[in-house]
Structure 1
C-alpha cells in the first residue's frame, strides 16, 4: 500500500529484528504442526493395541518439549516484532510532534486541536497495529495455511483436502469485498473521534465562559450530538465487522462439515486410518485460524492504511515559513528595522490587511503603534517575528531582507510578548526562564524589571509555585508581567510588546515602562497598545486605520494634528475623568 511508504525506511533500518522475529514465528508454526501428527500416531497405536506406557510417556515428553520450545520462541518473536511496532509508534509520535512545531501558525488557524490530537492517538495506534500484529498475522496465516494444506495433501488424502478447502475461494472473495468497506468506514470513525475530541478540548478550555453564561445544558446537548455521531460511525464499523467475522466462521464450519462427512466415509471404507482422520481434523482445526486471521489482517491493514493516509497529509504539509532564502553568514542582528511598501493579506484573493506600510526604526529607538481593533497592529508585529509569510523586499533588518535572516537568529534576538500570554503548567521560575536554564538571581532581576517580583514573593512557594493550566491561578496582569519577564530574560535586540500592559493599572504600567526605558536603552522597542498612556513617550507613534498608516509623529505632534490620534486621546481623557469622579 502506497500509504505505508512513510514507514518503509523504519522497517529497512530494523530489518534484522523483523527477520529474527519472523524466523522464530515460523519455528513456532512448524513445531505446532508436529502435534497433530503425534496425536494421529498415538491414535493408530491405541487402535492397534501397540500403545505401551513407555511409548505413551515418550510421546508425552515430545509434546511437553514442543510446548516449552513454543513458549520460548513465541516470547522471542513477540519481543522482536511487537517491540519494533512499539518503537515505530514512539518514533511516529516524535516525528508528528516535531512536524507540529515546524508548521506555521497559519496552519493552526485552519485545523482544530482535537483533530490533531486524534492523529497523535488513534491514528498512530492503528499504524502500530498494522506493522506489529498485522505483520505477525499475515506471515503466520500465510505460512501456516500453505504448510497445513501441503501436509494434508501429501500425508493424508488429496481428495479429502480439496473437498474440505472448497469454501476457501469464497472466503477470499468475502475478505476482498469487506476490506474496502472497512477502510471507508474506519476513516469515518477516525474523523468522528477527532471531532469529538475537539469538542471536549474546546469545552474544557472554555469552561469558565460556559459557566459564566450558564450554558452547561446547551454544551451537554452539543456534546451529545458529537458523541452520537461518533457512536453511529463506530456502530457502522461494528455492523460490517459483525457480519464479516461470522461469515468467515460459517464458511470455515462448512469445511469441517465436508471433512466430517467425507472423511468419516473414508475411515469406514478403510481408505484412511482413524489416526489419519484425527490428524486431518486437527490440521483442519489449525487451518481455521489462518482463515480467520486473513480477515483480521485485512481489517488491521485497512485501518492502518486509512490512518497512515491521514498522517501522511500532515507529514507532506509544507510550512509556509522556511529558511529557503536564509543566508547562513547572518549570525547576529543589531535591531535596525526598515519596512518598505509592505502590503499583506493572509491568503490570495482576500483583501489586504496591511497596505503600503513604510517605517524606518533605528536601533535603540521606540516605535509605538495604535489604532482601532482590526486595524492590522498585531499582524504588523507578527510579520516582524515572521509568524506569517513576509513578502520579499518589504521588511529589512540591518539592511537584510527579513527572509534572508535564519529563523533561529531572528527569533533568538526578538523578545515577543503577544496578546495571548500563554503560561505553561509549570513553576513561575521555569515559565520565566523558558528558553534557557537560568540562576534564580537572574530570574528575579527580570521579574523585578517587569514589576512582578513582589507578587511572586507573596505566593507560598514563591518562584517555585506551580501555576494551573494556561496560568489559570494567576491574574491577567500577573500573566502579562511574567510574559514580559520571559521576553526580557532573553536579552533581545528587539522587544515587541503587543498590547501587553492592558491588564495592569496605570501605576504599574508606568513602573514597567520606566524600567524598560533603562533596560532597552540601546535596544529597539515596538509597543502596540490601545492606551495612549502606554505609548506617549515613544520616539515615533504611527496610527493605523484599516491597515494603512494615517498619522505618524510624536505624541505632541499628533495631538496638534487634531486627527484620529487626538480623537482617541480625548476619549481616553474623558473616560479617566469619569472614573475619577466615580
Structure 2
C-alpha cells in the first residue's frame, strides 16, 4: 500500500488551497455527486410508475418491468453515492493530515519569542479539535453542495414540470428559512469561538494534571486540581450547550416553515387527484419530491451554522499555521569563531517585562571551558538562553566579528548546542534520544565515553537500544542528565552551553566527565552553568552572577582565595556537608 505523504499546500493559510490540492478527489466527488443527486429524482418518479402499474396493469409482465426499472434506477444512483462519499471522506482525511503537519511544522520552526507565549493546551486543542471541526465543515459543505444544492435544483425543476403554480406557491417558505440563517450568522460564530476557548482551557488543565501527576500527589493537590478541572468542564459544557441551541435549536423553526409548503402541496395536489388531473402515482411522486426538497432546505440551514462554527476554529488554526511566524531551517556548516565577546548583554524572558540579566560583558577564547555560577535567581539560566541567540536580547554577542543577531537562524543552530537544566527525554530508545536516528557509531561511541555512560549502557537489558520512558522515567536522575549531555555533544557544535549538567551526578563522575570534555574538546568552547563549584576547579574562567549582573570573574584559584560571593558559596557548601574544595 502506497504511503500517503502529508504536506500542507504552498498557500497553507488559504482553506481553498487544501481543496485545490486534492482536485482529483473533488472532481470525482463532484461528478458522482451531480449524477447521484440528479438521478435520485428518478426514484420517486419510477416509484410512482410502479404504483400506477400495480393498480392499472393488465398483466404481471408490466408490473415486473416497472419494478425492474425502479430497481435499476435506484442501483445506479446508489453506486454513484458510494463514490461520492468515499472520495469526499478521503479528501477530508488527507486535508486534516496536511493541516496537522503544517501546524507542527510551524510550531517546531516558530520564533521562540512567539512560541513561549503560546499555551500547550491551546495548541493541542487547535491541532486536534479545531482541525477536525474545520475539515468536517469542508466535507459537509462539499457534500451538501451536491446533496442539497444540486438535489434541490433537480427536485425543483422536476416539480415545475408537474405543476408550475403549486410549485411556486409551496416554495414561498424556502427563502424565509435562508433569510433566518443569515440573521444568525454573527451570533453562531461568536458562540462557537467562546466554546472553543473553553475547550482549550479544559485541555490545558487536563495536560497539567497528566504531566505533573507526581507533583500533585507529593503535595496533596489531587482534589484541588480536580475541582479546578470540574469548574472548567462546567464552563465548557455551558458554552457548548449555548452553541448547540443556536446551531440546532432553530431546527424546529426551519422545519415548521418548510412544512407550510407541504400543507399547500397536499391541499392543491389532492384537489388535482379528485378532479382526475393527477393519478395517485403522480401525487405520491410529487409529494415525495417536495418533502425531500423541504428537508434539504433545513439541512442547508444547519450546514450554514456549521460553517460559522468552523470559521472560529479556522481562525485558531491560522494563528498557529501562519507562515510569517516560522523560520525555515536548512542543514549548514556551523561557525568556528576564535573569540566570543559579550558586550552589555541584557535579557528578559518572553513572558516577562523585567530583565533577568543586565549589562553583562566578558570575553572568551576558543577552546575555553567557562564556569558560570551564582545564587538561585541570579540569572544563570537567563544568560544560558541568551547565549543561544534564539531569543531576543539587548546588547551584543560577537562570534568572531559577527553579532549573533546577524547570523542566519540555521547557522546559529549548527554553531551552538544547548542542554537545559531540566532535560527532556523522549519515549524512545536510548540511542535515538542521543542521535535523533542518526547512524554515526563512531561519534556515538565518543559522546558515550565523554558522558561516562558506557558502563550504564552495559547494565541495561537491551544496551543502547533500551526503551526509556518519556522524561526518562526508566532511568535515574544522573543517567538522565548524562544522556542529555551526550545528546548535546552529539550535535558536534563549536559552542556548547550546559545549564546545570551535573546536579544529579556524584562528584567523582562529575570530575571524570569534565576531564573527558577537556581531553575531547576539539576546539569547542564550553559554558558550564552550575551552583556546584567543585567542577569549577577544571575550568579556565569563572563568572559569578548576582541579581543579573557579573560581580566577580577570574580563575577558580583566584576567586577561591578572594573575599566575595564565590568564596562564600564554597564555605556554605562545605558547612552543609558538600564537597571539599581546598583554598
Q: Where do 5+ consecutive residues of structure 1 fail to align?
A: none
Matches within 5 A, 1:315-330: 315-316=321-322, 318-319=324-325
Instruction: Specify the alignment match of 1:210 in structure 2.
Output: 216
Shift of 1:335: 5.6
Q: Residues 185 and 532 (structure 1 numbering): CA distance in 2 closer, same or farther, change over 3 Å? A: same
Q: Indicate yes or no: 2:132 matched with 1:125.
A: yes
Q: Residues 172 and 320 (structure 1 numbering): CA distance in 2 closer, same or farther, change over 3 Å? A: closer
Q: Where do 5+ consecutive residues of structure 2 fail to align?
A: 1-10
8 Å CA contact 1:126–1:307 kept in 2: the answer is yes
Which secondary structure does the structure 2 equivalent of 1:561 belong to? coil
Instruction: Specify the alignment match of 1:19 in structure 2.
Output: 27
Select the residue among 60, 63, 77 that pairs with 1:53: 60
Q: Residues 482 and 186 (structure 1 numbering): CA distance in 2 closer, same or farther, change over 3 Å? A: same
8 Å CA contact 2:373–2:530 kept in 1: the answer is yes
Q: Residues 579 and 212 (structure 1 numbering): CA distance in 2 closer, same or farther, change over 3 Å? A: farther
8 Å CA contact 2:338–2:400 kept in 1: the answer is yes
How many residue pairs were aligned?
Answer: 571
Select the residue among 284, 290, 299 that pairs with 1:293: 299
Moved more, 115-124 or 426-435: 426-435
| TM-score (structure 1 length as normaliser) | 0.91
Instruction: Specify the alignment match of 2:84 in structure 1.
Output: 77
Matches within 5 A, 1:294-309: 294-309=300-315
Which secondary structure does the structure 2 equivalent of 1:373 belong to? coil
Instruction: Specify the alignment match of 1:476 in structure 2.
Output: 477
Shift of 1:409: 2.7
Q: Indicate yes or no: 2:194 matched with 1:192.
A: no
Which secondary structure does the structure 1 equivalent of 2:250 belong to? helix
8 Å CA contact 2:44–2:288 kept in 1: the answer is yes
Q: Residues 4 and 166 (structure 1 numbering): CA distance in 2 closer, same or farther, change over 3 Å? A: farther
Shift of 1:102: 1.1
Shift of 1:290: 1.7
8 Å CA contact 2:177–2:298 kept in 1: the answer is no
8 Å CA contact 2:435–2:487 kept in 1: the answer is yes
CA shift digits 1:170-206 (9 cap, x unpaired): 2112322344333222222211211111111111111
Shift of 1:363: 0.7
CA distance in 2, matches of 1:456, 1:319: 41
Q: Residues 467 and 546 (structure 1 numbering): CA distance in 2 closer, same or farther, change over 3 Å? A: same
8 Å CA contact 2:185–2:308 kept in 1: the answer is yes
CA shift digits 1:18-75 (9 cap, x unpaired): 233212101011111112222333444555x345322222222222222222232122
RMSD of aligned residue pairs (Cα, Å): 2.6
CA distance in 1, matches of 2:459, 2:230: 44
Instruction: Specify the alignment match of 2:7 in structure 1.
Output: none
Instruction: Specify the alignment match of 1:113 in structure 2.
Output: 120
8 Å CA contact 1:368–1:528 kept in 2: the answer is yes
| TM-score (structure 2 length as normaliser) | 0.91
Select the residue among 99, 107, 118 that pairs with 1:100: 107
Select the residue among 80, 88, 99 that pairs with 2:95: 88
CA distance in 2, matches of 1:329, 1:469: 30
Instruction: Specify the alignment match of 1:422 in structure 2.
Output: 424
Matches within 5 A, 1:445-460: 445-460=446-461
Matches within 5 A, 1:145-156: 145-153=152-160, 155-156=161-162
Shift of 1:281: 0.5
Instruction: Specify the alignment match of 2:173 in structure 1.
Output: 167
CA distance in 2, matches of 1:486, 1:499: 15
Select the residue among 367, 389, 397 that pairs with 1:386: 389
CA distance in 1, matches of 2:282, 2:50: 11
Instruction: Specify the alignment match of 1:434 in structure 2.
Output: 436
Q: Indicate yes or no: 2:146 matched with 1:139.
A: yes
CA distance in 1, matches of 2:200, 2:415: 38
8 Å CA contact 1:178–1:244 kept in 2: the answer is no
CA distance in 1, matches of 2:168, 2:81: 31
Q: Residues 74 and 329 (structure 1 numbering): CA distance in 2 closer, same or farther, change over 3 Å? A: closer
8 Å CA contact 1:119–1:310 kept in 2: the answer is yes
Instruction: Specify the alignment match of 1:246 in structure 2.
Output: 252
Instruction: Specify the alignment match of 1:281 in structure 2.
Output: 287
8 Å CA contact 1:336–1:524 kept in 2: the answer is no
Instruction: Specify the alignment match of 1:514 in structure 2.
Output: 515
Q: Residues 236 and 556 (structure 1 numbering): CA distance in 2 closer, same or farther, change over 3 Å? A: same
Moved more, 164-173 or 25-34: 164-173
CA distance in 2, matches of 1:579, 1:377: 23
Which secondary structure does the structure 2 equivalent of 1:191 belong to? helix
8 Å CA contact 1:335–1:523 kept in 2: the answer is no
